[in-house]
């Protein structure tokens, strides 16, 4: 007889924080987080020290899945142009899924306002990593100004996620042509 291990209190808190903050925002209360995780407030504070640290840990924990859901595998034979387009194709797919609320890392930065907040620092680092990915691909693809192109791509990425996240736009057929125009203007291969 096989028994599945019950997730630890830490794992349940991380999952509750990821789910509830994505759905309801970072203003979610400690009581709601503890109730969803089935743990006491004492456990939350013993494990994370504060709600802020829980939020930061939850974002850090989800970073690998975020990256895996967007970026193509390294050295997959695609051109840098195709690799950048792949990211935006994934966003378009994700935006069509019920319950999509945009990029959680962008949302955290917008909601918190405080750049020193632990969760804001984690979110900023994840977004900087995406910017670095765009810059590296732009350099490899021979873009005229890789830094400018990377910054333009992150603006499109954030804009797409914001508009889709609040449900004001159907992005089908809009994202790829927009990105392709930027890539063409940068002389990207």
Give the domain CATH number at 122.
1.10.357.10
Residue 6 DSSP symbol? P
Per the CB < 8 A criterion, the answer to whether 109 and 124 are in contact is yes
Structural domain containing residue 80: 52-185
Q: How many domains does the chain have?
A: 1
Domain-embedded: residue 72 = yes
- The DSSP line for 17-50 is HHHHHHHH-TT--HHHHHHHHT--HHHHHHHHSS
Domain-embedded: residue 32 = no
> Mind listing the pLDDT tens digit for each residue in 134-187?
999 999 999 999 999 999 999 999 999 999 888 887 788 889 999 999 999 999
For residues 152 and 135, give the distance between their C-alpha atoms in angstroms, rounded to a whole number. 10
Entry pTM: 0.91
For residues 102 and 120, give the distance between their C-alpha atoms in angstroms, rounded to a whole number. 16
Domain-embedded: residue 17 = no
Domain-embedded: residue 12 = no
3-state class (DSSP) for residue 2: coil
Domain-embedded: residue 44 = no
Domain-embedded: residue 140 = yes
């Amino acid at each position: 007889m096989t028994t599945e291990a019950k997730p630890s209190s830490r794992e349940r808190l991380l999952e509750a924080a990821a789910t509830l903050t994505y759905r309801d925002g970072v203003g979610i209360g400690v009581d709601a987080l503890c109730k969803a995780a089935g743990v006491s407030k004492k456990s939350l504070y013993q494990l994370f020290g504060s709600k802020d640290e829980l939020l930061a840990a939850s974002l850090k924990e989800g970073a690998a899945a975020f990256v895996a859901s967007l970026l193509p595998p390294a050295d997959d034979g695609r051109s840098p142009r195709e690799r950048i387009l792949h990211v935006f194709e994934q966003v378009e797919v994700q935006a069509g899924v019920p319950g999509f609320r945009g990029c959680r890392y962008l949302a955290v930065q917008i909601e918190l306002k405080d750049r020193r907040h632990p969760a804001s620092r984690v979110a900023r680092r994840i977004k900087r990593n995406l910017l670095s990915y765009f810059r590296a691909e732009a350099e490899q693809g021979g873009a005229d100004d890789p830094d400018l192109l990377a910054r333009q791509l992150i603006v499109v990425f954030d804009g797409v996620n914001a508009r889709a996240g609040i449900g004001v736009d159907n992005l089908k057929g809009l994202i790829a042509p927009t990105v392709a125009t930027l890539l063409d203007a940068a002389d990207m291969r």
